[in-house]
């Protein structure tokens, strides 16, 4: 099961190992009758969204998920490589969206105002809005009878964290697989 490096070398063995660590099941609400459902995983290459992507690929390979990455234009070194490795591991393409103006350019437009814990405009501008536009594009392409499920990497030890809250008009439902599986770091 483990290679000489101490890593699991076979995906089947990895699935068995993960199943020993988790309890619970990921429950995705079924689409209303006559609706097309899109199951989306917004990924950042961070540990939580990557865990969701890997868990879904390994434990629920039959669920047709779409990975979406919204770039800030100033991602940390290694982000592209991490996304490339995630694509290779899951055998699923990540849709990558790049802004016209980067986070730094936008900050300079605002008088060198850098986002902080109190002023997190960057999450809204570089993550939520591009994701919402992507969903709107899918709705325009597939019609009003579409439903969107966003699988978000909020862990079981973060019960009060909500992630991005969508309005009813957005028609995006949020599911937290790591909470449903009771996964904590």
Q: Which of 69, 44, 63, 61 is nearest to 154 (CA)?
A: 44
Q: Which of 90, 45, 36 is nearest to 70 (CA)?
A: 45
User: Is pLDDT larger for residue 96 or for residue 120?
Assistant: 96
Q: What is the pLDDT of residues 33-53, one digit of tens each?
A: 999 999 999 998 888 999 999
Looking at residue 156, what is its pLDDT?
Answer: 85
* Ordered structural domains, the chain, with CATH: 11-180 (3.40.50)
Which of 36-40, 98-102, 152-156 has the weakest average pLDDT? 98-102
Across 22-43, average pLDDT? 93
Looking at residue 113, what is its pLDDT?
Answer: 64
Alpha-helix residue ranges (DSSP H) falling in the chain: 11-21, 47-59, 79-90, 103-109, 121-123, 129-142, 177-180
Global confidence as pTM: 0.83
Across the chain, mean pLDDT equals: 84
- Residue 43 vs residues 94, 108, 147, 174: alpha-carbon distances, Å: 9, 26, 19, 14
């Amino acid at each position: 099961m483990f290679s000489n490096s101490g890593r699991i070398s076979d995906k089947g063995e990895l699935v068995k190992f993960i199943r020993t660590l988790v309890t619970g099941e990921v429950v995705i609400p079924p689409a209303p009758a006559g609706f097309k459902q899109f199951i989306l995983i917004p990924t950042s290459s961070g540990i939580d969204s990557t865990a969701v992507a890997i868990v879904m690929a390994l434990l629920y390979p039959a669920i047709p998920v779409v990975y979406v990455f919204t770039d800030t234009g100033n991602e940390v070194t290694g982000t592209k490589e991490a996304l490339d490795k995630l694509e290779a591991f899951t055998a699923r393409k990540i849709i990558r969206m790049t802004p016209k103006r980067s986070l730094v350019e936008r900050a300079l437009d605002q008088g060198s105002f850098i986002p902080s814990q109190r002023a997190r405009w960057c999450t809204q501008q570089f993550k939520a809005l591009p994701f919402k536009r992507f969903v709107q594009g899918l709705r325009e392409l597939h019609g009003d009878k579409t439903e969107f499920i966003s699988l978000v990497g909020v862990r079981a030890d973060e019960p009060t964290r909500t992630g991005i809250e969508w309005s009813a008009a957005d028609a995006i439902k949020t599911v937290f697989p790591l909470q449903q599986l009771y996964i904590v770091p």
